[in-house]
Amino acid sequence: MRVPDVGVLAWGTGSQAKPFGRWSYPLGKTVSALERRGLKVAVIPAQALNGGKTVVGWYPLKTAASFRWAAQKTMLPDIFYNRILGRQREKRKSVQAGLQALAGNGKIVFNPGYLSKAAIYEHLTDTEVNAYLPDTLVTPTPQAVIEFLQRWPVVYLKPLESCQGRGIFRLAVTGRSWLVKGVRKKETLTRLLSHKQALATWLGRVLHHRQYLAQRGIRLDRLQSRQYDLRVLCQKGADGEWAYVGAGIRLAARGQIVTHRPNGGQVVSVKQVMVRRFGAGGWREKEGELAEIAVMASRLLERGHGGNFGLLSLDVACDAPEGKFWILEMNSKPGAFDEGRIQRKSDNLLAGYLRYLLVQRGKGNASIHSA
């Protein structure tokens, strides 16, 4: 029977070849990275949690092009990293019961779940990072959004529970009309509303369908006439404290209102963009500011939530007029970074944090190291 140090929780498919569907390869890379750093890791289907002391765990073996997976009976470890992807999957009663059983048995589960945009705003507002939050309305009425548009010429409507830019609308005042842009199936849809009643009717239909927040639109800085934002990663390390890992640039496709890669966004060198914007010395200073904001926001979010998080990412805007940073969103299930330097540092910090947690349980392992 296998006895891993750590269990990575994921949504299982029952397939031998790809036991975690399209996430099998990324999970295999995560496990391999941690094993190279001295950890024993099993990927455990969330559906398999039943309150017992053993479970079927999955172990990847690297092949030339992918991973071959093997299932083995496994003792439940003390430490779990939640990588259950998909809000509806994580919300299932059976999955929640399994997570509660782990907590009831004294197991540590870090990154305990998805965060709603309303919760993030609630945890950060009126704190030390309040100055970096755009004006926001949570679950506004149509009339409240119309009044908000009288204060700000651009407003974004964002679903409280969504990712990768899905369901986002951009509302812009254009003379006596309102231009609406939305994202659907990777395409930008545009609509012009010429009368306030038409705007109110459209808002009523959208806000009735699902819960949104309204966020002041920041005038994003641009590269080659395309807007961009920064994807920032913060993690805990071997000392159990939050640290800034790095930042990447996501450049929107032409005409797009979001920068996410599934919507045509492009990965661009942060130095190429930010050194152009601030100069080499100026970017060093600004990156120090960015790191301070990100670490502070991570601490505050974790404190407000009350759960245990090991890593968080932030979407941060750099505005065009002043180069000020704005926190647009935070994510408790960040994926791998395309920037190799950042991902290697992330893997080292994750291994260090897992070692820290194991030491807290009296299971220190001197073989765990940075690659």
Phi, psi at residue 231, to the nearest 5°? -105, 115
Question: What whole-number distance in Å separates Cα of residue 329 and Cα of residue 313?
Answer: 8
The pLDDT score that the predictor gives to residue 50 is: 85
Question: What whole-number distance in Å separates Cα of residue 227 and Cα of residue 328?
Answer: 14
Whether the per-residue pLDDT at 262 is higher than 60: the answer is: no
Ranking 34-38, 202-206, 317-321 by mean pLDDT, the lowest is 317-321
The pLDDT-based confidence of 190 (bands split at 50, 70, 90) is: confident
The pLDDT score that the predictor gives to residue 221 is: 87
- pLDDT per residue as tens digits for the range 128-154: 999 999 999 999 999 999 999 999 999
C-alpha pair distances (Å), 238 with each of 31, 79, 244, 295: 18, 15, 13, 16
C-alpha pair distances (Å), 244 with each of 111, 204, 298, 300, 360: 17, 41, 10, 14, 23
Whole-number average pLDDT of the chain: 92
Q: Which residue has the higher pLDDT, 335 or 364?
A: 335
Residue 203: which of 252, 246, 140 has the closest Cα?
140
SS3 67: strand
Whether the per-residue pLDDT at 321 is higher than 90: the answer is: no
- pLDDT per residue as tens digits for the range 212-259: 999 999 998 888 888 889 999 999 999 999 999 999 999 877 767 666
SS3 237: coil
Question: What whole-number distance in Å separates Cα of residue 352 and Cα of residue 368?
Answer: 8
Question: What whole-number distance in Å separates Cα of residue 121 and Cα of residue 170?
Answer: 19
The pLDDT score that the predictor gives to residue 184 is: 65
pTM for the model stands at 0.93
Whether the per-residue pLDDT at 165 is higher than 90: the answer is: no
> Which residues are 108's β-sheet partners?
79
> Which residues are 294's β-sheet partners?
none
Q: Which residue has the higher pLDDT, 144 or 65?
A: 144
Helices in 235-308 by DSSP H: which ranges? 270-278, 280-305
10 Å Cβ neighbour count for 194? Answer: 12
Dihedral (C-alpha) 255, 259, 261, 265: value to the nearest 10 degrees? 50
The pLDDT score that the predictor gives to residue 70 is: 95
Q: Which residue has the higher pLDDT, 42 or 367?
A: 42
Whether the per-residue pLDDT at 365 is higher than 80: the answer is: no
Question: What whole-number distance in Å separates Cα of residue 41 and Cα of residue 10?
Answer: 13
Q: Which residue has the higher pLDDT, 267 or 106?
A: 106
Asked if 108 contacts 356 with a C-beta cutoff of 8 angstroms, the reply is no
Return the percentage of the chain with pLDDT > 70, whole number. Answer: 94
The pLDDT score that the predictor gives to residue 267 is: 83
Phi, psi at residue 319, to the nearest 5°? -80, 155
The pLDDT score that the predictor gives to residue 312 is: 98
Asked if 115 contacts 287 with a C-beta cutoff of 8 angstroms, the reply is no
Domains and CATH numbers, the chain: 6-112 (3.40.50.20), 117-132+220-332 (3.30.470.20), 136-216 (3.30.1490)
Decide: residue 116, CB within 10 A, 0-12 exposed, 13-18 middle, 19+ buried: middle
Asked if 228 contacts 220 with a C-beta cutoff of 8 angstroms, the reply is yes
Whether the per-residue pLDDT at 91 is higher than 60: the answer is: yes
Establish how many alpha carbons lie within 13 A of residue 153's alpha carbon, considering only the half-sphere containing its beta carbon.
Answer: 5
The pLDDT score that the predictor gives to residue 63 is: 85
The pLDDT score that the predictor gives to residue 272 is: 84
**DSSP one-letter string for 5-55:** SEEEEE-----SS-TTGGGHHHHHHHHHHHHHTT--EEEEEGGG--SSSEE
DSSP, res 97:
H
Average pLDDT of the residues in 41-63: 93
The pLDDT score that the predictor gives to residue 255 is: 64
Question: What whole-number distance in Å separates Cα of residue 177 and Cα of residue 199?
Answer: 9
Whether the per-residue pLDDT at 56 is higher than 90: the answer is: yes
Specify the amino acid at residue 252.
A
The pLDDT score that the predictor gives to residue 79 is: 96
The pLDDT score that the predictor gives to residue 366 is: 62
